[in-house]
Amino acid sequence: MTQAPARRPAGRRQHDREIVALALPAFGALVAEPLFLMTDTAIVGHLGTAQLAGLGIASALLMTAVSVFVFLAYATTAAVARRVGAGDLQAAIRQGMDGIWLALLLGAAVVAVALPTAPHLVDLIGASDAATPYAITYLRISVLGIPAMLVVLAATGVLRGLQDTRTPLYVAIVGFIANGALNAGLVYGADLGIVGSAWGTVIAQCGMAAVYLAVVLRGARKHDASLCPDAAGIRASAQAGVPLLVRTLSLRAILMIATAVAARLGDADIAAHQIILSLWSLLAFALDAIAIAGQAIIGRYLGAGDAQGARDACRRMVEWGIAVGVVLGVLVVITRPAFLPLFTSDPTVKDVALPALIIVALSQPISGIVFVLDGVLMGAGDGPYLAWAMLLTLAVFTPVALLVPVLGGGLTALWATMTLMMTVRMLTLWLRARSGRWIVTGATR
C-alpha cells in the first residue's frame, strides 16, 4: 500500500504565510535604492567610462553616508513590532515618531559635513584624474537628498513594525518610475549629463519621503500618538541604535575597502566593480526581504511572549534564505551575458566583470543564511552581538583584501575575498542563533 505523504505541521504553514505576506512586498521596497543606483548606472554608463567610474566612487560614499544610519529602519522595526505584539499601538507609533525626528537631525548633520568635504572624500577613495570631477559633482548634488533618504528609512521601520510592508512597496514602485523618468529626461532630454542623473534621484527621494510622512502622520493621529519631538525618546532611539551603527559602519568599511582596492586596480576594474556591486546590492536586498519579515515576525512573537514561535520562525526563515540564495545564484549565471551590455559597451569592462560574476553567483546561498540570521537577531534587539560579530569580520577581511593588488590579483580575487567575508559572517551569526541567547521576551528587551 502506498504511504500518504507526511503533512507539514500547521505552525510551519503559518510561518510560510507570514513570511510570504511580509517578504514579497518588502522586496519591492528594499530594492528601491539599488534600483535607483542601477538606473543611474545604466544611464550614466553610456556617457563614458570616466563618468561611470565617477558615479561608482560617489555612490560608494553616498551609500555609506546613508547605510550607517540604517538602524533608523532596523531598530525601529524591532521596537515597534515588540509593542505591537504586546498590544500597545499608541506606544508603537510614538516610538516610530522619535525615530523620524532623529532621522531629520542626522540628515541635516550629514549634509553639513559632506558638502564642504566632498573633494577630500573622493580623493580618499583614490579616484583617477579623469573620474574625480564627475565623482565630486555627483556627490555634492546627491548629498542634498540624504535627509529625505533617512526619513524614508525611519518611516519604513514604523510601517514594517506595524506588519505593513505593502505601503512601502507602493511608494517604492512610484519612486522608481519617477527616478527613471527624471534621470532620462534630465540626462538626455535636458543634456545635463551626470548632473541631471544626480538631481533626478534627489527629486524622486524627496517625493518618497513626503508620501511616507503623510502615511505615518495619519496613523499617529488615528491612535492619538504625539507628533511633537520628545528629547528623551529621541535620545533613547539613538542609544538603541548605537550597536547597529557599529555593525553597519563595519560593514560599510568593508565595502569601502573593496571599492578602494578596485579603484587602484584601474578604471576598467572600478567600472566593472561598480556594475557588480549594483547587482550584488540588488541580490542582497532581495535576500533581506526575508530578513525584514524576520524582524517584524520575531519582534512580534517576542513582544507577545512566544519564545517557541520565535524559534520556529527563525528556523523556517533560514530554510527560505538558502532556497532563495540558490535560485538567485542560478539566475546570475544564466543572465550574466545579457546583463553586462545594459551597463557598459566597453569590452575591457565586460571581460573583467564576467568571471567575478561567477563568484557572486556561487556565494548567494551563503548570503541567504547571513541576511536572514542578521534580520532575526535585529528583530530580537540583539544589537551588541551583531556589532562585535561584524568587527571580527572586518578584522579578518581587511588584511586579505589589501593583499589583492599586492599579490597581483584582479577583480575576481577581490570578489573571492568578499565571499570569505560573507562566510565569516555566516559562522558568527549561526553560532549565536544556535545558542538561543537572543531570545528575550516582553514589550521591551
Match 515597534 to its residue by C-alpha cell. Answer: 80
**Residue 424 banded pLDDT, cuts 50, 70, 90:** very high
Model confidence over 58-89: pLDDT tens digits? 887 887 777 778 888 888 888 888 888 887 88
How far is 243 from 382, CA to CA, in rounded Å? 9
**Residue 34 banded pLDDT, cuts 50, 70, 90:** low
Residue 66 main-chain phi, psi, to 5 deg: -85, -45
One-letter amino acid of 52:
L
pLDDT at 3 over 60: no
pLDDT at 2 over 50: no
**Residue 248 banded pLDDT, cuts 50, 70, 90:** confident
pLDDT at 4 over 60: no
3-state secondary structure of 61: helix
Residue 164 carries which DSSP code? -
**Residue 7 banded pLDDT, cuts 50, 70, 90:** very low
Q: Are residues 155 and 95 in contact, defined by beta-carbon separation less than 8 angstroms?
A: no
Provide the grid cell at 273. 566593480
Average pLDDT over residues 8-13: 56
**Residue 386 banded pLDDT, cuts 50, 70, 90:** very high
Provide the grid cell at 140. 555634492
How far is 415 from 402, CA to CA, in rounded Å? 12
Match 531570545 to its residue by C-alpha cell. Answer: 439
pLDDT value for 151: 92
- Residue 12: CB partners within 8 Å, gap ≥ 6? 312, 316
Model confidence over 387-409: pLDDT tens digits? 999 999 999 999 999 998 888 88
Count Cβ atoms within 10 A of the Cβ of residue 57 and give its class: 0-12 exposed, 13-18 middle, 19 or more buried.
buried
One-letter amino acid of 359:
I
pLDDT value for 106: 92
pLDDT at 176 over 70: yes
Question: What kind and span of H or E run contains 385?
Answer: helix 383-406
pLDDT at 211 over 70: yes
pLDDT at 232 over 70: yes
Residue 9 CB neighbours (<10 A):
10
